[in-house]
Amino acid sequence: MAETNILLESGTNELEIVEFYLEEQREKGTYRGFYGINVAKVLEILQLPKLTDMPEAAHPAVLGAFNLRNEIIPLVDLALWLRKERLEKEPPKVIVTEFNRTKSAFLVSGVTRIHRINWRQVEAPTGYVSSLTVNSITGVVKFPDRIVFILDMEKICMDLDPDHAPVVEAPEPLRKEIKARAIKVLVADDSTMARKMIVGILEKAGFHVQSVENGEAALNQLRKYAGKAHDAGRPLSDYVDILVTDIEMPVMDGHTLTRNIKEDGLLRHLPVVLCSSIITETLHHKGVSVGADAQISKAELGDLVPRVHALLAETAAAGN
């Protein structure tokens, strides 16, 4: 499923989403809600397989597990997790995903089609909309005949397994060195949960952190810093030392943001770290092609601080 042409391109600010739906039972009848997930996270779409109960499942939405080519995949009833009553009008579908180096599957009512869209068509949800959807929506796409909500799959999986992959603190000597240097980091991530987590990790290690919600906001902020530095005859590092950015973001994605930075005469030397759940061996080349200085999966956030520190050390050595 994920082997599509768009995976061969870089910095186009486009994505492909698999559109699916949930049939809901409501007091006044039935309702079909439409949702989307990045094709890069989808391995395949199946009929409902035979399930095996999982002992002491962490959440009632976890229906069990199934064997897929000798791998045990947990199945989550997405409607149940979203606190909706799913109506079975037809045999449901199972979307098998892989992100953060973990495979999961989600039960949905049906799958419609794949859309190729620009990230500028993806609007960030309002706080009210997010609250009504258990804060699991990262984007809204408006088509002429319906609205499609882009789900924050990372948040869903983390809520289902909050103890998975705890982040290890950076060692004290490293934290002292970072604090002494007053390193300034800009973080860009559209997921409130991920953004808070990344900012928290960096701040705990001693970094000075500012955060924004998408690539366009990050680029605007960086250009403001670059303009101030240029006008004052000061180095950009007086304002920002490094960027840590997600890839999947409304308006402007991380690959497009990186390409814009590396093509900007005032910003091109700024180190850029891509930190995303979709960084895999298959997609690593996309970050390389737009000039990213480092890439790290959100499944490896324990490595974020030493990777950022090492990259800054390499940048400083190269500049001497």
CB-side neighbour CA atoms (13 Å) of 171: 4
Shared domain for 147 and 178, answered yes or no, is no
Which of 160, 193, 217 delimits the end of a domain? 160
Letter string b/e over residues 96-118, b meaning 16 or more CB atoms within 10 A of that residue's CB: bbbbbebebbbbbbbbeeebebe
Which of 120, 139, 160 delimits the end of a domain? 160
- What the block records as the tokens of 304 is 């974020």
Say if residues 82 and 21 touch (Cβ distance below 8 Å).
no
Domain membership of residue 44 (yes or no) is yes
- What the block records as the tokens of 158 is 């983390």
Q: Which residues are CB-neighbours of 287 under 8 A, at least 6 positions away?
A: 10, 247, 255, 258, 274, 279, 295
Shared domain for 58 and 135, answered yes or no, is yes
Shared domain for 178 and 131, answered yes or no, is no
Domain membership of residue 167 (yes or no) is no
- What the block records as the tokens of 113 is 């089609």
DSSP classification of residue 229: H
CB-based burial label for 57 (10 Å; 0-12, 13-18, 19+): middle
Query: How high is the pLDDT of residue 163?
Result: 59
Number of other CB atoms surrounding residue 232 within 10 Å: 10
Query: How high is the pLDDT of residue 8?
Result: 46
Phi–psi pair at 72, nearest 5 degrees = -90, 120
Query: How high is the pLDDT of residue 235?
Result: 94
Shared domain for 10 and 155, answered yes or no, is yes
Number of other CB atoms surrounding residue 46 within 10 Å: 15
CB-side neighbour CA atoms (13 Å) of 80: 12
Number of other CB atoms surrounding residue 306 within 10 Å: 13
Shared domain for 200 and 313, answered yes or no, is yes
Query: How high is the pLDDT of residue 133?
Result: 61
Ranges of residues in the chain with a pLDDT under 70 are: 1-9, 128-135, 161-168, 319-320
- How many angstroms separate the CA atoms of 247 and 221, rounded? 17
Domain that holds residue 295: 172-319
Query: How high is the pLDDT of residue 2?
Result: 42
Question: 297 pairs with which residues across the strands?
Answer: 276
Number of domains in the chain: 2
Shared domain for 153 and 192, answered yes or no, is no
Give the containing element (helix H, strand E) for 61.
none
Domain membership of residue 124 (yes or no) is yes
Query: pLDDT of 311-320, one tens digit each?
Result: 998 887 776 4
Angle at 317 between CA 314 and CA 320, to 5 degrees: 150
Shared domain for 186 and 155, answered yes or no, is no
Say if residues 210 and 267 touch (Cβ distance below 8 Å).
no
Question: Can you give the CATH number for the domain in which 260 is found?
Answer: 3.40.50.2300
pLDDT above 70 as % of the chain: 91
